[in-house]
Amino acid sequence: MLEEITRLMSLQAIDRELRELEEALASVSGRSVQLRQEALDYAAELEGLQLEDQQSAVTRRNLEKELAENEARQRNKRMRGNQVRNDRESLAVDHEIDSLKETKQRLESELLAMMETAEQRTARIKELRELSEQRHTELIEAEKETAAQVEDLKISISKQHVDRDLMKKNIDAALLQRYEIIFSRRAGVAVTEAKGGTCQGCRMRLPPQLYNEIQKHLQVHFCPNCQRILYFETTAKE
Ligand SMILES: [Zn+2]
């Protein structure tokens, strides 16, 4: 068999192993990843609410100040109202007091709405702190449980990567690139056997001329249908 094909087949074996190991790692660490994401989401929401809480406290203090000023002004107007001498002045003062009263009502309802929102926010903040803490505890547990497995998988993966890098050095760059594209597009089968006149990757009958060429082992051939790299097993009887 063509030397180049043999190397590609070894590379494919490594790549399939790597693929399985990486899938195993993803599934083992899946729970931790999910918990970590949830903890991050809670932390982000918590931060947002805390900021909102600070801003709202400032607004609330301003409203309270405005309200106190409004009350002081109403008292002043009433005192002046007691001193007026004619109806016209008295009417004007009454009018001013009414307007202040309206403002006061508006301020009070704004303040009340803010207090209600603050109450809901405080409850959510408390809840988020608990949830966040809970996720952290669960995360530590999950990581402790899977630590050994994750470690083993990571070691196996890095070993395979070392082997892969060594293997890669002896393969033509253009062919390697083509192999990698086929491997990822064709579900981890880039190199496949040409047997009984058909491509074993896609089951398509190969042109007889091509099939003959493959058997000569003179160069690398590709399936015209699925683009996979084809090899011919000489030991196998046709
Ligand atoms: Zn094919």
Using the mean position of ligand 1's atoms as its centre, give its distance from the Cα of residue 211 in Å. 12
Encoded tokens for 24: 């195993």
pLDDT digits (tens, 9 = 90+) for 173-196: 999 999 999 999 999 999 999 999
Using the mean position of ligand 1's atoms as its centre, give its distance from the Cα of residue 227 in Å. 6
> Could you tell me if 46 and 128 are in contact, meaning their C-beta atoms sit under 8 angstroms apart?
yes
70 shares a domain with 124: yes
Using the mean position of ligand 1's atoms as its centre, give its distance from the Cα of residue 166 in Å. 28
10, part of any domain: no
Using the mean position of ligand 1's atoms as its centre, give its distance from the Cα of residue 191 in Å. 10
Using the mean position of ligand 1's atoms as its centre, give its distance from the Cα of residue 165 in Å. 27
Average pLDDT over residues 188-217: 95
Average pLDDT over residues 137-154: 94
130, part of any domain: yes
Encoded tokens for 32: 């931790």
214 shares a domain with 178: yes
186 shares a domain with 131: no
Encoded tokens for 218: 């003179």
Question: Dihedral sign, CA of 139, 142, 145, 148?
Answer: negative
Average pLDDT over residues 98-118: 96
Report the percentage of the chain scoring pLDDT > 70. 98
Average pLDDT of the chain is 94
193, part of any domain: yes
Q: How is residue 191 annotated by DSSP?
A: E
Provide the pLDDT for residue 82: 86
pLDDT digits (tens, 9 = 90+) for 11-53: 999 999 999 999 999 999 998 999 999 999 999 999 999 999 9
Using the mean position of ligand 1's atoms as its centre, give its distance from the Cα of residue 198 in Å. 8
Average pLDDT over residues 66-95: 91
Using the mean position of ligand 1's atoms as its centre, give its distance from the Cα of residue 201 in Å. 5
- Could you give the maximum distance between any two Cα atoms of the chain, in Å? 126
Report the percentage of the chain scoring pLDDT > 90. 89
Using the mean position of ligand 1's atoms as its centre, give its distance from the Cα of residue 223 in Å. 5
Using the mean position of ligand 1's atoms as its centre, give its distance from the Cα of residue 75 in Å. 94
Provide the pLDDT for residue 141: 93
206 shares a domain with 121: no
Using the mean position of ligand 1's atoms as its centre, give its distance from the Cα of residue 199 in Å. 5
Whether residue 1 has pLDDT greater than 80 = no
CA 96 to chain centre: 59
How many Å from the N-terminal Cα to the C-terminal Cα in the chain? 16
d(CA 217, CA 179): 18
Using the mean position of ligand 1's atoms as its centre, give its distance from the Cα of residue 207 in Å. 11
Which one of 147, 167, 187 terminates a domain? 167
Encoded tokens for 183: 């491997």
> Which residues constitute the domain of residue 80?
30-167
Provide the pLDDT for residue 234: 82
pLDDT digits (tens, 9 = 90+) for 64-75: 999 999 999 999
Confidence at 238, pLDDT banded by 50, 70, 90: very low
Using the mean position of ligand 1's atoms as its centre, give its distance from the Cα of residue 205 in Å. 8
User: What is the total count of domains within the chain?
Assistant: 2
Q: Which amino acid is residue 35, in one-letter code?
A: L
Which one of 167, 190, 222 terminates a domain? 167
